[in-house]
Chains A and B, each alone.
Chain A
Amino acid sequence: MELQPLLFLVFALGAVISAVSTVTRKNPVSSAMSLVAHFFMLAGLYLTLEAQFVAAVQVLVYAGAIMVLVVFVIMLLNLGNEQALTENRGLRSTLATLIGAVFAVQIILVTVAEPTGANALPSRAVEIGTTESIGQSLFTQYLFPFEAISLLLLAALIGSVVLAKRHMK
């Protein structure tokens, strides 16, 4: 019995359950905690794909940085009373869920009808997921997008400061 398919099933189940719980929880804080669990499950899935660097960055950037930001904003907004947390669910939710289900069934049907034929990881997969190989192509082939993304981050930094500051009269 191979360990890898078993690990995939465990992480996949965990990812689906935590994703559904993110979407269905009433309280934004429980949603955020489910999303953290989801990010950890995805990091596990990346490890089953031999992508160690992406798995580490997933935990550091998503579970570490982005979720701290989200929880911080939830705390800052202080939405206190439970009464205000309820949303009315009516025809729109049922319709949206129905559309989502149809969409999912469509994608799954297409994937099942036309299998990709790739049944096992190639041996090269272990080499390409390492920090060394990622760094190598990041600073050679992908140097321009790498520099461009630093500009984007600077723009986002300035933009969020401008948006969030109190306007002086």
Chain B
Amino acid sequence: MLPTTIPLDWYLILSAVLFVTGVVGVLTRRNAIIIFMSIELMLNAVNLSLVAFSAYSGDIGGQMFVFFIMSVAAAEAAVGLAIVLSLFRNKQTIYVDDVNVMKW
């Protein structure tokens, strides 16, 4: 039976599961765009736990952090996708295994 209110721990567990999904995505996929999307998944999982902590403690700090994380994610999206574009232009691939010039 469901409780009448949601405990904070539910949000934390959900956030952990979503974060791990993102980690597995980064580790298993080789397509640079999908790796990029998995990183967004991880950022959003952290945002969820920050908002949950902020709401349950009645402090606005967590939601401010989420605001700033979103700005950083937008900047990251712009630069990351520009890198993918110039990678494709130079090597005709977006598979990270094919990009091993700097690998020792």
> CB within 8 Å of B: which residues of A?
1-2, 4-6, 8-9, 12, 15-16, 19-20, 22-23, 28, 31-32, 35, 38-39, 42, 45-46, 48-51, 53-54, 57-58, 61-62, 65-66, 69-70, 73-74, 76-77, 79, 87, 89, 92-93, 96-97, 99-101, 103-104, 107-108, 111-112, 115-116, 118-122, 124-125, 128-129, 133-134, 137-138, 142, 145, 149, 152-153, 155-157, 159-161, 163-164, 166
Complex contact B6–A5 (CB within 8 A)? yes
- Residues of the B chain whose Cβ atoms lie less than 8 Å from the Cβ of A92: 27-28
- Residues of the B chain whose Cβ atoms lie less than 8 Å from the Cβ of A116: 7-9, 12, 56
- Residues of the A chain whose Cβ atoms lie less than 8 Å from the Cβ of B57: 118, 122
Complex contact A23–B74 (CB within 8 A)? no
- Residues of the A chain whose Cβ atoms lie less than 8 Å from the Cβ of B102: none
Complex contact A35–B20 (CB within 8 A)? no
Interface centre among A61, A92, A116 (most CB of B within 10 A): A116
Complex contact A57–B70 (CB within 8 A)? yes
- Residues of the B chain whose Cβ atoms lie less than 8 Å from the Cβ of A107: 13, 16, 20
Given A66-B74, A100-B23, A119 contacting B79 (CB threshold 8 A): no
Given A77-B85, A103-B20, A8 contacting B41 (CB threshold 8 A): no
Complex contact A163–B6 (CB within 8 A)? no
Closest residue of B by beta carbon distance from A155: B75
- Residues of the B chain whose Cβ atoms lie less than 8 Å from the Cβ of A76: 85
Chain B facing A: main interface SS: helix
Q: Cα distance A49–B73 when bound, in Å? A: 22
Interface centre among A23, A45, A101 (most CB of B within 10 A): A23
Given A96-B28, A111-B16, A128-B55, A134 contacting B64 (CB threshold 8 A): yes
Closest residue of A by beta carbon distance from B73: A66
Shortest C-beta distance, A14 to chain B (Å), equals 11
